[in-house]
Amino acid sequence: MFHKEGHKIIFLTFVFVVGCSLLADSFIPITWLRTIVLIVLLAFLILILQFFRNPKRNTVLNNKQVVSPVDGKVVVIEEVFEKEYFNEKRLQVSVFMSPINVHVTRYPISGNVIFSKYHPGKFLVAWHPKASEENERTTVVVENETYGKVLHRQIAGALAKRIVNYAKINDKAVQGGESGFIKFGSRVDLFLPLDTKIKVTLNQKVRGGESIIAEAND
């Protein structure tokens, strides 16, 4: 199953690969060279198909828990001052996505969307310290009565040239449901209450909609 954001790109890539394959078959007489070209074209098509895949995830709804919004690796767990929305200290957990990860962004908690904003910006590498403030990004805040407010921020990377955000103010977010999509390598930051229980460690691989990032402190 492929994500709707990739349908046009997949079609164009398929046409490109088929066209180039026919040209290679007609104009490259050297068998080994023609074979290499065909393998490269096939690998390119498989890479695009893999990038836009949209596997079904089994999210166990729990208002006391925060699930990972994306697939990837945890690269940041630290206390920071979040100045766009909260204007106070929060726990930041960041997940880095490589180009081969699923790039669907999912709601980390269920609740009401109370903030959603797009910021144009640069395309620094996603792990750059200033990426969360200077790169193209979107910020979404969801609130529920059990956990409180959770902010997740999609951040474009050096390869990501388009962020898609579906979240609108007053939408009803469902934990694990789609909130957006980022095209190519990028990162998502979570900003959580200081008293939250972090359930992941640095460099841990996580799955969007399934891995538990944090849990409310009783």
Residues whose CB is less than 8 angstroms from the CB of residue 105 and which lie 6 or more positions away in sequence, other chains included: 69, 70, 152, 154, 178, 179, 180, 181, 182, 188, 208
- Which residue from 70, 72, 73, 94 is spatially nearest to 82, judged by alpha carbons? 94
Cβ of 190: how many Cβ atoms within 10 Å? 26
Q: How many CA atoms lie within 13 A of 93 on its CB side?
A: 30
Alpha carbon of 84 to those of 2, 20, 52, 67, 134: distances in Å?
34, 47, 30, 22, 12
What's the whole-number mean pLDDT along residues 111-120? 94
> Is 186 annotated in the active site?
yes
pLDDT tens digits, 134-186: 678 899 999 999 999 999 999 886 555 578 899 999 999 999 999 998 876 68
pLDDT tens digits, 123-133: 565 555 565 66
Q: What percent of the chain has pLDDT over 90?
A: 57
Better-predicted residue by pLDDT, 48 or 13: 13
Task: Single out the catalytic residue among 132, 179, 186, 211.
Answer: 186
CATH top class, domain 65-215? mainly beta
Q: How many CA atoms lie within 13 A of 167 on its CB side?
A: 34
Largest CA distance in the chain: 71
Query: Are the beta carbons of 153 and 186 closer than 8 angstroms?
Result: no
Cα–chain-centroid distance for residue 17?
27
- Which residue from 198, 193, 188, 131 is spatially nearest to 165, judged by alpha carbons? 188
What's the whole-number mean pLDDT along residues 76-96? 95
pTM for the model stands at 0.84
- Which residue from 199, 190, 109 is spatially nearest to 154, judged by alpha carbons? 190
- What does the domain layout of the chain look like in residue ranges? 4-51, 65-215
Residues whose CB is less than 8 angstroms from the CB of residue 90 and which lie 6 or more positions away in sequence, other chains included: 79, 80, 81, 82, 151, 191, 192, 193, 194
CA distance 186 to 151: 17
- Which residue from 138, 146, 132 is spatially nearest to 93, judged by alpha carbons? 132
Query: Are the beta carbons of 163 and 154 closer than 8 angstroms?
Result: yes
As given in the structure block, the two tokens for residue 35 are 């074979």
Position 152 scores a pLDDT of 96
